[in-house]
């Protein structure tokens, strides 16, 4: 019998707001990129009561009603480069390494062959490129990044080649239930800033899919909502980012982020039988920029004690 999330224990569902990049990209059922009609993108933002965001998209160039692909690509790349700079500023890869290192060490000591880190929703691959380049997780670790946005995967691949960093980037949907992991016993699935993009309805199935894939562990990092995160994020996005879309989406990601309680509820409903879970509640009484993201961690129960 499946475990379902108990709705009474979840934070009241706020109306789903959108990030602008979410409405500028569409994939067909085969994963191929589809043209996006400007009116459709604008209408989605208006329907979710975001007139300022709708105005930004309305101002983008279009041909025959379809958004100009070069302009869309330039926006995506500019926003993701700014996002990488922000991740650098608040030490996201270091934070990931700190949480992942004990898990990776445990797997390294307990079996043969490389440990594989698979980064779901990798964007331009900043986190895995830094982890691989710095060797922060030690020897014998392979890195794979996956994203459903082929433009970002191409950029990540180019950057890794230029920097001579051995990370493989692939196009794929993190919610695809047929997604399988090559060597699950030696695989740790991670993500950063992605859970809130998946949508509330998809979280429990996403964690259930993790259990089906049988990976050894997971660590999904996302922003920790709360007063200081909201204030701090607004200040960070307005002082360190120039792109209006970055500023909008950065602030919106704080509003969309899940509370620690919600993450634990969805994770335990989706995979709690198979995984020890942990998601620390980070105090918001005073600002802690290094805690702007925190992980929900899972370690397969047969692999030992809680993470």
Ligand X SMILES: C[S@@+](CC[C@H](N)C(=O)[O-])C[C@H]1O[C@@H](n2cnc3c(N)ncnc32)[C@H](O)[C@@H]1O
> Please, which residue, 172 or 184, has the CB nearer to ligand X?
172
Contacting ligand X within 161-220 (CB under 6 A): 173-175, 192-194, 197-198
Indicate whether 87 belongs to the interface with ligand X (CB under 6 A).
Answer: yes
> Please, which residue, 84 or 215, has the CB nearer to ligand X?
84
Indicate whether 123 belongs to the interface with ligand X (CB under 6 A).
Answer: yes
Indicate whether 250 belongs to the interface with ligand X (CB under 6 A).
Answer: no
Indicate whether 275 belongs to the interface with ligand X (CB under 6 A).
Answer: no
Given a contact cutoff of 8 angstroms between Cβ atoms, the answer to whether 270 and 206 are in contact is yes
- Min. distance of Cβ 69 from ligand X in angstroms? 16
- Min. distance of Cβ 197 from ligand X in angstroms? 4
> Please, which residue, 152 or 264, has the CB nearer to ligand X?
152
Burial of residue 143 (CB within 10 Å: 0-12, 13-18, 19+) is buried
> Please, which residue, 108 or 270, has the CB nearer to ligand X?
270
Binding mask 135-154 for ligand X (x = CB under 6 A): ------------xxx--x--
Residues at the contact surface with ligand X, assessed by CB under 6 A? 83-84, 87, 120-123, 126-127, 147-149, 152, 173-175, 192-194, 197-198
């Amino acid at each position: 019998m499946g475990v379902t999330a108990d709705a009474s224990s979840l934070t009241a569902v706020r109306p789903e707001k959108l990030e602008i990049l979410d409405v500028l990209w569409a994939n067909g059922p085969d994963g191929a990129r589809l043209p996006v009609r400007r009116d459709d993108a604008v209408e989605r933002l208006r329907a979710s009561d975001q007139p300022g965001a709708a105005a930004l998209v309305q101002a983008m160039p279009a041909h025959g009603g379809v958004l100009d692909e070069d302009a869309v690509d330039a926006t995506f790349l500019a926003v993701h480069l700014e996002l990488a700079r922000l991740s650098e500023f608040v030490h996201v890869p270091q934070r990931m390494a700190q949480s992942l290192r004990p898990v990776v060490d445990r797997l390294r000591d307990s079996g043969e062959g490389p440990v594989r880190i698979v980064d779901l929703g990798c964007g331009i691959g900043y986190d895995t490129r830094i982890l691989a380049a710095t060797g922060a997780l030690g020897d014998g670790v392979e890195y794979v990044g996956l994203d459903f946005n082929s433009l970002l995967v191409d950029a990540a691949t180019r950057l890794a080649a230029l920097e001579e960093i051995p990370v493989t980037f692939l196009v794929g949907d993190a919610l695809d239930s047929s997604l399988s992991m090559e060597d699950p016993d030696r695989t740790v699935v991670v993500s950063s800033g992605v859970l809130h993009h998946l949508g509330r309805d998809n979280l429990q199935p996403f964690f259930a899919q993790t259990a089906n894939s049988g990976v050894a562990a997971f660590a999904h990092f996302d922003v920790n909502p709360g007063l200081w995160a909201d204030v701090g994020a607004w200040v960070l996005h307005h002082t360190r980012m120039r792109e209006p879309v970055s500023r909008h989406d950065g602030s919106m990601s704080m509003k969309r982020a899940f509370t620690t309680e919600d993450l634990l509820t969805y994770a335990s409903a989706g995979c709690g039988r198979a995984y020890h879970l942990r998601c620390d509640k980070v105090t918001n009484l005073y600002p802690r920029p290094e805690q702007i993201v925190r992980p929900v961690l899972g370690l397969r129960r047969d692999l030992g004690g809680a993470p």
